[in-house]
Chains A and B, each alone.
Chain A
């Protein structure tokens, strides 16, 4: 008889009545065929597979992760709250040990949403994994968390949110940013001065096949995880590396996704992108579910799958090996890089520009962070959106040292209300969020 080797939780929330707009890839029918496949396969009847109804995330849940401008309500729809809530529901089920692992098959996605969010970017408004991770840290006190983003697009939102956090290992493997939205995620992007090497970006050349993906998992992701020793592994399981995806140029397969899941053994997987809704998603999702539940997935093969056609060229294999070696070198030098980044107590400034493709917003940021060896370091972000608002957000990391806490309060107190429309304080140690009104 078919029985999962352990309990696996699933949240399935296809949001059949929500779309960015009627012909947008992120629209109602995206998970329709996945639903058909999953239901026809009788997945929810398999002993050990438990389906959960998603909860809604609250304003407080979002405030742990984002500075929503002007506020949470303006940035999100109910669908975003349920989607993030689905991830949170799975987190609860896993951490309460009702299930060994879980998969949130939800939409809309979230991995392009950054800490400061003025609107939609890359189909994302709030970062559902990040909201979940911050919830887990506050509710369950877990310290070290690894997020492995296997979506074909660079998970720049998650990357941004954990940029300065040495306790969250973020690894994104994605199609080379020179050929793909959002155009970032190069090996040199290793994290902020206090967290160098805890962000690893692995760009893959167009045409990478199952062989290439699994090579990176075996030779880079797994060894790094082995050393990092996370308390929890999260997989941002984008499915747009598939050989039929209309938005990307990769050659990954349902079998490959299932094998990747078996190798990675994520505690929690959260669906991200994936827009080959008919030819790929039904099979990829089925493969991931079966792999999570420890069930045989040998029969999960796309009807038109032809491994010979999808084989990657020798030059691609070489490129991937080189990138992997480079990443492993960076990883081994992370401590020296943090030492070299600056001396404790020093304030470091960074300027950035971000374009919100979904909502056509241009944002300019000026960030100041305190160099610290004892914690992730407090920082402030001055953010001006066009069209939009000018705000200041101050963040105190969850395990902040006293010096960084003081620095953050100083940032907040000194912020000039005449200059900003709103000033926010994200006080993670107190699990509090404060707002100071500014000019309007």
Chain B
């Protein structure tokens, strides 16, 4: 049996399932100040009637890191960055303990200026004196040559508890994002470690001995041990859980939109032939941009509990939440009240809902019924407008080859899958308004926990081979090997596959689920000097795609 648990903003959902279906489902309120107790009560309730020995897999998704970022309760850490020529690294300052140091590596990975070891030593002493225990080290182009980061770590590690290196977070280029991601990693590390070690201990006490898997933002899982190297990957795993839960309901061979209508926000994402679309570079939310692999999601500040108000004769929905709907004892009218007034939703105190909507209707000079309908339609159209904007954005993403330009895949979803409390009401309205087939996913209230339970392990490797310099590298995996002049595409793909498999198994992948490998990128270039060929550069990225583990296709449907 598999146990999946998803800590959401308001509720924690947990399911116990096997290949024959869902055995049990529990929902407990989330205590944002004590997530540990929320996790534990979820587990305790599920295991009341189950023998822990029968549980073969445990997957947890939490808002731990997300909350820490939002509430700014991260551990203070130091950053040491080495930039070389280019934009002033001062722009990417993360805190007072941010040190831009000498040393430079160019785009081919060649050293252009050495690290000044004395300078690093002085900084190490300052960091120690300030009582800082975690440091991130990032050098520009470290994904081409990490030697400066490694050297700096060697000097720093005598002075601090742990050093996090930029080239370990991603094989992608992007120095500012690498700084932000490495900083986040270092900042959430102790929080993540303490939390999950406590969870692991408690589960052991309950007799759950299988290794814990943790859900990542890309909709895949990793083992607890693997998560310690890159805890920041757990940020935004919540939306990922829901999307993964929608996969069984997605059409094969087609594109689909997934809308998860929550209390405060609606998460928007996309599935292509049952596979979720990934962010091209990494998670971004407003000004915050990272290299964390993530599903392509965005959210709109509209949910069932969004506060409604009228400003200058116009309806405003959200983005804030003042509490539940008035029908459920809340202080201000919400879209849920509109659903109650329209007679769509039977639950709740209709009188209170009417009272709330009436104020809005008066300010809009409409009848209560008309105002409720206007609110409902506005919610649908705002969400859909944002969705269409995202599709345009995805389809207008620049490409860099003539081939991709001419053959570029265009996302054109024909179906919407709706999740969340009010999904069934929205589905009907959206279909009526937009003539797009819209389905409320059955049992969508637990889709998130199912998604977490059934998510496969994912990972990605990036390789760079340079036959002029005679080396193939995957610095993210601490891999480098000499190659000959005759090294070719097939060799690179073979190396990539070996590394990917190894990485996947280290992250806890089941060997039966290693066939969803995809070459995300492959490029080959001639290196020419003075009109004669000197070698080739090959680049590839290979991934284990996000998806569901085998044998459970029928569980959710």
A interface list, Cβ under 8 A from B: 1-2, 11-18, 22-23, 25, 27-29, 32-33, 35-37, 39-42, 45, 47, 51-54, 77-79, 82, 246, 278, 282-283, 286, 290, 295-296, 298-304
Chain B, 60-87, CB within 8 A of any chain A CB: 83-87
Cα separation A37 to B85 with both chains bound (whole Å): 10
Query: When the two chains form their complex, are residues A299 and B87 in contact, meaning their CB atoms are under 8 A apart?
Result: yes
Is B530 an interface position by the 8 A CB rule? yes
Q: Which residue of A lies closest to B529 (CB)?
A: A246
Query: When the two chains form their complex, are residues A18 and B402 in contact, meaning their CB atoms are under 8 A apart?
Result: yes
Query: When the two chains form their complex, are residues A29 and B527 in contact, meaning their CB atoms are under 8 A apart?
Result: yes
The contact of B140 among A40, A53, A246, by CB within 8 Å, is A40
Query: When the two chains form their complex, are residues A303 and B402 in contact, meaning their CB atoms are under 8 A apart?
Result: no
List of B residues within 8 angstroms of A11 by Cβ? 398
21 residue pairs A–B, Cβ–Cβ below 8 Å? A2-B87, A2-B176, A12-B400, A14-B400, A15-B401, A17-B401, A25-B531, A32-B537, A37-B86, A41-B87, A41-B176, A45-B174, A47-B287, A53-B396, A78-B402, A278-B107, A296-B88, A298-B88, A299-B83, A303-B106, A303-B113
List of B residues within 8 angstroms of A296 by Cβ? 87-88
Known A45-B176, A53-B397; contact A27-B528, beta-carbon cutoff 8 A: yes
Query: When the two chains form their complex, are residues B85 and A299 in contact, meaning their CB atoms are under 8 A apart?
Result: yes
Cα separation A11 to B523 with both chains bound (whole Å): 20
Smallest CB–CB gap between B404 and chain A, Å? 8
Cα separation A2 to B90 with both chains bound (whole Å): 9
Contact flags B149-179 to A (C-beta < 8 A → 1, else 0): 0000000000000000000000001111100
Contact flags B518-552 to A (C-beta < 8 A → 1, else 0): 00000101111011110001000000000000000
Is B53 an interface position by the 8 A CB rule? no
Size class of the contact patch on chain B = 35 or more
List of A residues within 8 angstroms of B362 by Cβ? none
Smallest CB–CB gap between B119 and chain A, Å? 18
Cα separation A18 to B108 with both chains bound (whole Å): 21
Smallest CB–CB gap between A37 and chain B, Å? 5
Cα separation A426 to B104 with both chains bound (whole Å): 54
List of B residues within 8 angstroms of A42 by Cβ? 87, 174-177, 289
Q: Which residue of A lies closest to B87 (CB)?
A: A41
Is B311 an interface position by the 8 A CB rule? no
Cα separation A105 to B113 with both chains bound (whole Å): 29
Smallest CB–CB gap between A248 and chain B, Å? 14
Query: When the two chains form their complex, are residues B106 and A16 in contact, meaning their CB atoms are under 8 A apart?
Result: no
Query: When the two chains form their complex, are residues B91 and A300 in contact, meaning their CB atoms are under 8 A apart?
Result: no
Cα separation A82 to B405 with both chains bound (whole Å): 9
The contact of A36 among B85, B92, B107, B176, by CB within 8 Å, is B107
Residue from A25, A39, A290, A295 having most chain B Cβ neighbours under 10 A: A39
List of A residues within 8 angstroms of B174 by Cβ? 39-40, 42, 45
Query: When the two chains form their complex, are residues A23 and B532 in contact, meaning their CB atoms are under 8 A apart?
Result: yes
Query: When the two chains form their complex, are residues A17 and B402 in contact, meaning their CB atoms are under 8 A apart?
Result: yes
List of B residues within 8 angstroms of A33 by Cβ? 107-108
List of A residues within 8 angstroms of B528 by Cβ? 22-23, 27, 29
Is B201 an interface position by the 8 A CB rule? no
Q: Which residue of A lies closest to B526 (CB)?
A: A22
B interface list, Cβ under 8 A from A: 83-88, 91-92, 104, 106-108, 112-113, 140-141, 173-177, 284, 287, 289, 396-403, 405-406, 523, 525-528, 530-533, 537
Smallest CB–CB gap between B177 and chain A, Å? 6
Cα separation A283 to B86 with both chains bound (whole Å): 8
List of B residues within 8 angstroms of A78 by Cβ? 402, 405-406
Query: When the two chains form their complex, are residues B527 and A290 in contact, meaning their CB atoms are under 8 A apart?
Result: no
Query: When the two chains form their complex, are residues A79 and B402 in contact, meaning their CB atoms are under 8 A apart?
Result: yes
Smallest CB–CB gap between B548 and chain A, Å? 33
Q: Which residue of A lies closest to B523 (CB)?
A: A16
Query: When the two chains form their complex, are residues B526 and A40 in contact, meaning their CB atoms are under 8 A apart?
Result: no
Cα separation A246 to B528 with both chains bound (whole Å): 12
Q: Which residue of A lies closest to B85 (CB)?
A: A301
List of A residues within 8 angstroms of B406 by Cβ? 78
Cα separation A22 to B531 with both chains bound (whole Å): 9
- A22-B528, A301-B85 given; 10 more Cβ-contact pairs under 8 Å: A13-B405, A16-B401, A23-B526, A29-B528, A40-B140, A41-B87, A45-B174, A45-B289, A53-B396, A290-B87
Query: When the two chains form their complex, are residues A282 and B107 in contact, meaning their CB atoms are under 8 A apart?
Result: yes
Query: When the two chains form their complex, are residues A13 and B400 in contact, meaning their CB atoms are under 8 A apart?
Result: yes
Q: Which residue of B lies closest to A277 (CB)?
A: B528
Cα separation A78 to B402 with both chains bound (whole Å): 7
The contact of A32 among B83, B84, B403, B525, by CB within 8 Å, is B525
Smallest CB–CB gap between B173 and chain A, Å? 4
Q: Which residue of B lies closest to A286 (CB)?
A: B86
Smallest CB–CB gap between B115 and chain A, Å? 15
Smallest CB–CB gap between A70 and chain B, Å? 23
Known A23-B531, A299-B85; contact A29-B107, beta-carbon cutoff 8 A: no
Cα separation A47 to B286 with both chains bound (whole Å): 10
Cα separation A290 to B403 with both chains bound (whole Å): 29
List of A residues within 8 angstroms of B531 by Cβ? 23, 25
Smallest CB–CB gap between A69 and chain B, Å? 24
Smallest CB–CB gap between A349 and chain B, Å? 41
The contact of B525 among A13, A16, A303, by CB within 8 Å, is A16
List of A residues within 8 angstroms of B399 by Cβ? 53
Q: Which residue of B lies closest to A18 (CB)?
A: B402
Cα separation A353 to B62 with both chains bound (whole Å): 74
Query: When the two chains form their complex, are residues A40 and B88 in contact, meaning their CB atoms are under 8 A apart?
Result: no
Smallest CB–CB gap between A141 and chain B, Å? 27
Q: Which residue of B lies closest to A17 (CB)?
A: B401
List of B residues within 8 angstroms of A246 by Cβ? 530
Residue from A15, A27, A29 having most chain B Cβ neighbours under 10 A: A29
Smallest CB–CB gap between A18 and chain B, Å? 5
Query: When the two chains form their complex, are residues B108 and A2 in contact, meaning their CB atoms are under 8 A apart?
Result: no
Cα separation A37 to B140 with both chains bound (whole Å): 10
Q: Which residue of A lies closest to B107 (CB)?
A: A36
The contact of B107 among A2, A18, A40, by CB within 8 Å, is A40
Cα separation A22 to B536 with both chains bound (whole Å): 12
Smallest CB–CB gap between B98 and chain A, Å? 14
Cα separation A89 to B177 with both chains bound (whole Å): 28
Query: When the two chains form their complex, are residues B88 and A28 in contact, meaning their CB atoms are under 8 A apart?
Result: no
Residue from B106, B141, B397 having most chain A Cβ neighbours under 10 A: B106
Query: When the two chains form their complex, are residues B526 and A29 in contact, meaning their CB atoms are under 8 A apart?
Result: yes
Residue from B86, B112, B531 having most chain A Cβ neighbours under 10 A: B86
Smallest CB–CB gap between B383 and chain A, Å? 25
Query: When the two chains form their complex, are residues A16 and B400 in contact, meaning their CB atoms are under 8 A apart?
Result: yes
List of B residues within 8 angstroms of A32 by Cβ? 525, 537
Query: When the two chains form their complex, are residues B175 and A40 in contact, meaning their CB atoms are under 8 A apart?
Result: yes
Q: Which residue of B lies closest to A282 (CB)?
A: B107
Cα separation A37 to B527 with both chains bound (whole Å): 17
The contact of B398 among A15, A18, A45, A53, by CB within 8 Å, is A53
Query: When the two chains form their complex, are residues A12 and B525 in contact, meaning their CB atoms are under 8 A apart?
Result: no
Residue from A33, A42, A79 having most chain B Cβ neighbours under 10 A: A42
List of B residues within 8 angstroms of A53 by Cβ? 396-399
Query: When the two chains form their complex, are residues A17 and B525 in contact, meaning their CB atoms are under 8 A apart?
Result: no
Cα separation A115 to B167 with both chains bound (whole Å): 51
List of B residues within 8 angstroms of A300 by Cβ? 85-87
List of B residues within 8 angstroms of A13 by Cβ? 398, 400, 405
Q: Which residue of A lies closest to B289 (CB)?
A: A45
List of A residues within 8 angstroms of B289 by Cβ? 42, 45
List of B residues within 8 angstroms of A79 by Cβ? 402
Q: Which residue of B lies closest to A11 (CB)?
A: B398
Q: Which residue of B lies closest to A16 (CB)?
A: B401
List of B residues within 8 angstroms of A23 by Cβ? 526, 528, 531-533
Query: When the two chains form their complex, are residues A37 and B107 in contact, meaning their CB atoms are under 8 A apart?
Result: yes
Cα separation A18 to B403 with both chains bound (whole Å): 9
Query: When the two chains form their complex, are residues B107 and A303 in contact, meaning their CB atoms are under 8 A apart?
Result: no
List of B residues within 8 angstroms of A286 by Cβ? 86-87
Q: Which residue of B lies closest to A22 (CB)?
A: B526
List of B residues within 8 angstroms of A299 by Cβ? 83, 85-88
Query: When the two chains form their complex, are residues B526 and A35 in contact, meaning their CB atoms are under 8 A apart?
Result: no
List of B residues within 8 angstroms of A51 by Cβ? 398
Closest 10 CB pairs of A and B: A303-B112, A42-B176, A29-B525, A36-B107, A2-B91, A40-B173, A17-B401, A53-B398, A39-B173, A16-B401
